[in-house]
Chain A
Amino acid sequence: AQTVTQSQPEMSVQEAETVTLSCTYDTSESDYYLFWYKQPPSRQMILVIRQEAYKQQNATENRFSVNFQKAAKSFSLKISDSQLGDAAMYFCAYRLINDYKLSFGAGTTVTVRA
C-alpha cells in the first residue's frame, strides 16, 4: 500500500511571504500522479496542482509551485506571496496511473498572518 506523509501539522506564514509544505510518499511504482488539494474553512476540496511522475519539469499554477524529487520521493508545495485566502488545510495525495483511488496525507494547516 502506498503511504503519504506530511510531517508538518501546522505552518504559519506572514502575508506576502513564502511558505513551503513538505510531503513524502512511499511507492514501488514508477508511473503515478501527485496532487496538492486545499480545504478552506468551507471544507470544499480544491485542486491546487497536479504533477505527473514521468514529467521532470515541476508543475506551477500562479503562486503555487512544487519541487518534485522523484528519487527522494518528495513532493513539496511552495506558496509564494501568501494571501489571507490561502489559509486552509492542505493535503498531499498520490495515485497510480491506472487507478483513480487517492492516498492522502494527514494534512497541514496553514495560517496566514496579516
Chain B
Amino acid sequence: GAVVSQHPSWVICKSGTSVKIECRSLDFQATTMFWYRQFPKQSLMLMATSNEGSKATYEQGVEKDKFLINHASLTLSTLTVTSAHPEDSSFYICSASGSHTQYFGPGTRLTVL
C-alpha cells in the first residue's frame, strides 16, 4: 500500500515551453501533497504544499506564476513549469500524506535545453 506515482519520469523540453508533471496517490486519498526540488547530492527543497480544492501554499522564494500547482482531486496533483528555462532543470519529487507519513513518488528529471 501507500504507492505514489509520478509521470513522466523524465522529460526534455526546449526553453520557453511549459511542462506538466503529474503526481498520483494510487491506493489512498491524500488531502495534502507536496512538491520538492532536489539538486544532485543535496537534500530535498520544499517548493509548495498542495491542498485538495484550494490554492497551493508556496515556500519563500518560489515563483507561483512559474510553478503552477493544481490539486483537483484527492488522488492527483499537477505541477506545471511555465516558460521553462535551463535553470529550471532539476529533479522534481512529489509526496502524498497518509497515515502520519509522507510517501514519495519516484521523481521526474526535467532537462530544459
Which residues of A pack against B, CB within 8 Å? 33, 35, 37, 42-47, 50, 89, 91, 100-102, 104-107, 109
Contact = CB atoms under 8 A, between A and B. Distances in A.
A100 B97 contact: yes
**What band does the interface of chain B fall in when counting residues whose beta carbon is under 8 Å from A?**
20 to 34
A42 B44 CA distance: 15
Contacts, number: 44
Contacts of B91: 43
Contacts of B102: 100, 102
A44 B104 contact: yes
Contact of A50 (B32, B42, B49, B101): B101
Contacts of B34: 100-102
A107 B34 CA distance: 19
B107 A44 contact: yes
A76 to B, nearest CB: 18
Main secondary structure of the interface of B (DSSP, over half): strand
Contacts of B43: 91, 104-107
Contact of A101 (B42, B49, B104, B106): B49
Given A44-B107, A46-B104, 16 more contacts: A33-B101, A37-B104, A42-B106, A43-B91, A43-B106, A44-B104, A45-B104, A47-B101, A91-B44, A100-B102, A102-B34, A102-B46, A102-B102, A106-B43, A107-B43, A109-B41
